Amino acid sequence: MEIKPLDTEQIGLKTLEKRLIKTRSDISLKIGLPKEISNDERRLSLTPGGVSILRANNHEIYIEKGAGNDAHFSDQEYADAGAEIIYSPEELYKKSELIVKVAPPTQQEQEWMQQNQVLISALHLGNMKVEFLKSLIQKGVSCIGYEFIMGDDSEFPIVRMMHEITGSMSVQIAAHYLENSSDGQGIMLGGISGIPPSTVVIIGAGIIGEYAARTALGYGAQVFVLDNDLAQLRRLENALDRRVITATANHQYLSSAIELADVVIGAAVTEGDRAPCLVTEPMVTNMKDRSVIIDTVIDQGGCIATSEPTSHSNPVFSKHGVIHYCVPNIPSNVARTATYALNNVIVPYLLAIGDAGGIRESLWSITALRNGTYVYKKHLTKKSLANLFNMPYREIEMLIASQI
């Protein structure tokens, strides 16, 4: 296959090429890739290229018919890569040992799950209900959450990839909603000769905030970033060559910055926990008429008091004269890019589970997967979730060591 220069759909796959060689283990995983049925979820976790790598390493892949359509991957592409097309979601769950999906399983999908099955998916902590956890615990499913997967380097690789997309997309979205056609102020993000640029205020200096700032600077906007972590602010200033204005996210600075803003991007998030609500409703009432709020962490509960979850089919609402965009799964709107990003992180983990000889062995030897586990052997294993829902929990290391 010829690879053209700058072919974006090949970039990233080079990191996986070494895995095309047969790996150490003869364990053959039965991996299921269901079609997402959650509202507006268009992403997949594996591309046809990822499937071919897993098949080359002796793993079986089942994919539900039409699962890749929204990301513009055809059933034929997956079949050519070695996947078996399954026509019923119930059959797919029955045949699979390991389910890999993007959105958390719905109630119907939870009913299809079986004891000792492994689930790898996102959790969407802002919308999680205690019944969701109790159902998975009762089923005896081992669950690994994208939001919790953290390696020895303290990085959250899947979260980071999605946050990079979210940060960049948030500014692109904001520019659209400032236009007259979207009932915005009718202004550009970047200024032109004799006309100053728009003001973009970003709440949070993490990965979402950084990529939002990079993109906003690229548009030519004036960018303020507020956070209570001074180390993060210093890192961002250095990374962006001090082209952003930074401040601590106290009430005084927040109020002043938001009052001046044409765009506010909510990006304050604590990994593995709900987002802190930093922007109050009175602050929003003082914003300019037809200014724009993009709350990028609404899936973690949101960091702006007036935010309410919306969807790609109905993405905005107006409150206090301010346009609010609060779609939980922003990367889903660039489903093909997001699927490649997920694939490039997830495929090595799936190979590692096979190399280790199964889920228990991989949890013992692979820090990232152990950190990512939140339900194991009918026990909740995350203290943050236990505190959130007032539930008992057991340390994952103790469960593995005791061979429960």
In 41-156, which ranges are continuous DSSP H helix?
Answer: 48-56, 75-80, 89-95, 107-112, 130-139
- Domain presence at residue 153: no
Edge-to-edge order in the sheet of strand 84-86: 84-86, 60-64, 30-33, 98-100, 118-121, 142-145, 373-376, 379-380
- Domain presence at residue 154: no
**Domain end marker among 308, 328, 348:** 328
- Domain presence at residue 152: no
Which of 70, 227, 262, 299 does the annotation list as catalytic?
299
Model confidence pLDDT, tens digit, residues 335-357: 999 999 999 999 999 999 999 99
Bigger pLDDT: 15 vs 182: 182
Among this protein's residues, is 124 annotated catalytic?
yes
Pair (232, 377) in one structural domain: no
- Domain presence at residue 347: yes
Pair (94, 182) in one structural domain: no
- Domain presence at residue 1: no
**Domain end marker among 269, 303, 328:** 328
* 299-316 b/e (C-beta count within 10 Å ≥ 16 → b): bbbbbbebbebbeeeebb
**Who's near 88: CB < 8 A, 6+ residues apart?**
64
Model confidence pLDDT, tens digit, residues 186-212: 999 998 999 999 999 999 999 999 999
Q: What is the count of structural domains for the chain? A: 2
Contact criterion met (CB below 8 Å) for 159 and 372: no
Mean of pLDDT over the chain: 90
Share of the chain above pLDDT 70, in %: 92
Task: Print the domain residue range for 344.
Answer: 13-145+334-401
Pair (166, 123) in one structural domain: no
- Domain presence at residue 267: yes
CA 322 to chain centre: 26
Residues 146, 125: Cα–Cα separation, whole Å: 11
Among this protein's residues, is 163 annotated catalytic?
no
pTM exceeds 0.95 for this model:
no
* 238-250 b/e (C-beta count within 10 Å ≥ 16 → b): eebeeebebbebe
Contact criterion met (CB below 8 Å) for 106 and 89: no
**Nearest to 287, CA basis, from 255, 310, 317:** 255
Instruction: Map tokens 């906007």 to a residue.
Output: 221
**Nearest to 143, CA basis, from 363, 392, 297, 341:** 363
Model confidence pLDDT, tens digit, residues 276-287: 899 999 999 999
Pair (270, 227) in one structural domain: yes
pLDDT at 1 over 70: no
- Domain presence at residue 2: no
Name the residue type at position 265: I
**Domain end marker among 301, 328, 355:** 328
Which of 40, 59, 70, 124 does the annotation list as catalytic?
124
Pair (283, 381) in one structural domain: no
Bigger pLDDT: 13 vs 323: 323
Pair (174, 308) in one structural domain: yes
Pair (318, 232) in one structural domain: yes
The CATH number of the domain holding residue 341 is 3.40.50.720
